[in-house]
Each structure stands twice: as C-alpha cells, then as structure tokens.
Amino acid sequence: MKTLKLFFGFALLASVVTSCYVEEVVVVDQDPYVDPVPSISLNQLLSSYELWYVDINRSNAAGEHPFMQLAFTMSFRNGTVFANNNLVGIGDQGYGFGIDVGFYDAYNYVLDISHDLDGFNSFDVTQLSTTEIELYHPPTGVRYVLVGYQRNNFDYDLLFYENIHYFIQEYTAWEKVSTEGGSPNEFDNEDFLQFLPGGGDGNFRSSQDPVGSDIYDLYWDYTGIYNVDDVPGNGYLKYLTLDYDYLGNEYFELNVINDNRIELYHETSGTVYTFRGKGYIQYKNSRGKLRIPKATIEKQMKKISVL
C-alpha cells in the first residue's frame, strides 16, 4: 500500500511540474529573404537598344570628341559601332543604323571606342535610368547623355526637322532649279547657296554664277550668317534668315520637299524658289558640322547681335 501511494506521489509531482513548464522561444532578427535581382552586363545593356540617341542638349560637349558630336545616333552591335552622322537618308542608310565607324569593347562600367579616323577613347558608363546612360571621359571631363530606342519606335522625321540647320550643310552647294511667281527682287540673281558650320546656326555664301556651273569652281559673290527658326504650330516648316554682310537680311519660309530639294518662299516678293542639293557630304570624321547645345547657339547669336 505504501509503495502504491509513493508511485502515485511521483506521478502527481511529474504532472504538476510538466503543467507548469513554459517553453521559452528565442526569436532571432533576420533580414527577409529577397531573390537576387538579375543583373546584365554593359555589353548586354548597350545591345538592348538598337539606337542610342546622342542628346547633345543634355551633354556637356565642347568639341573634344568629334565623332560623338557628329553622331545623331550610335549603335553597338557585336563589337562594331554604327552611327547616323547625316540627316540625308536617315532611317534608310544601313537599315536605320547608319554607317560603320569603328569598333568597341565593353567591360565592367567601361566602354572603349576605337573610331576609324578619330582614334581610341575610353568612357566610364553610368546608367541613369532604364533608357538612359551617360558616357564620361575622365581626361577631359566631357559627358554625353545617350537615350535608347528601337528602330521601330524612333521618330526619324522629328529628328530630321529639329535639325534642319544641319541638314542644309550636307551638300557642297544648293543649285536653284526653279523660280515661280512673285515680283522681281535682288534674290532672283542668286543661283547657288552654300551653308557652312560657323557662328550661330552657321555661315552661308551665295553665288550668281549661271545654273549648271561646276559647284567646285563657283565664285561666291556674297557671304553672311544664316539662321533657322521654328514656325509656331508647324513642326514641318521653318523660317530661314540670310543675314548678308552690310546688305541687310532676306527672309524665307523653308520647306523640305525631300532629301535633295528644298523650297524657299520669299515673303517680301511672294516668290517661290526651289533648290536642289549637289555634292553630298557623308560625315564620318571631324570634317563638317559639330553639333552643339541650343543654349550655346543662343549665346553665340546674342554676341553676334551686339556686334
């Protein structure tokens, strides 16, 4: 009987101890698990867009790298650099990519470009957004902003009309092919025009040599500065001002018929002149135009107006 009571006593004690036991749970702070974000290489980033528009107005560019400032767009395809340096034929030339201008190598955050004529340059690359990158050249401190597009959603027409002042520089000369209506005026005698890079939107020259003359043997009778301005509400029409040295200004409405013909409407006389481009200049090296920001052009025009 004592033995049985003792057994029940131990059983009761064990039951009480067990019922009073509270398990202590230690919580360890841990960062929540996050799947790693897939990253891509610089090579993959460059090739993810077919065209990289060189946004010269957001770049701090002053002419140190002509091949960058000649280019409206650049493309990086399997080690080859392509560029649209010309507005004539843009969208068609090289299936929209432009011409082969050199080769490149991309690693880590560095882009090395070897241009066929301008040589080797190395840029540090920063991704600004999903569609934008910045190329920084450490030795000169120059930065270029590039915006990515695919060919099927890039507005070649908008690019063309926003840069008409460069387009008219892409021919050695413009030859008058027709004069329609209007009253007689001094511009009737101008048979050739030439637009050159320079102060403001550029320099121009005019010749009264007869139509059909060799464009490489023209006598330029007059020189001056030209300017191209937007027409409010019409993105496809421009104002052209020819500022003749000491002879005053001539004003026109400039309409582009195609890549080879322009139409100038002389507001004062009501005459319509048609010119065709002769001597196409394909830009590949530093010859010809260097695109500069609009803010720089405006500063140059202010200086000219003061003189």
Does the pTM surpass 0.85? The reply is: no
50 and 97 in contact (C-beta within 8 Å)?
A: yes
More confident residue, 25 or 99: 99
pLDDT at 164 > cutoff 50: yes
CA 68 to chain centre: 9
**Structure tokens that stand for 115 in this block:** 């241009």
Query: What percent of the chain clears pLDDT 70, i.e. is strictly above it?
Result: 78
**Distance of alpha carbon 39 from alpha carbon 198, whole angstroms:** 45
* Nearest Cα to Cα of residue 128 among 112, 148, 155, 111: 148
Give me 271's structure tokens.
Answer: 């005459």
How far apart are the C-alpha atoms of 171 and 215, rounded to whole Å? 10
Residue 295 pLDDT: 56
Report the distance separating Cα 140 and Cα 170, nearest Å: 29
pLDDT at 286: 53
Q: Which two three-digit tokens encode residue 80?
A: 């080859």
Give the whole-angstrom CA distance, residue 46 versus residue 49. 6
Spell out the domains of the chain, with CATH numbers in brackets.
Answer: 42-159 (2.40.128), 171-280 (2.40.128)
pLDDT tens digits, 197-244: 875 567 999 999 999 999 999 999 999 999 999 999 888 899 999 999
The answer to whether residues 84 and 284 touch, using CB atoms and an 8 Å cutoff, is: no
When pLDDT is averaged across residues 115-140 and rounded to a whole number, the result is 94
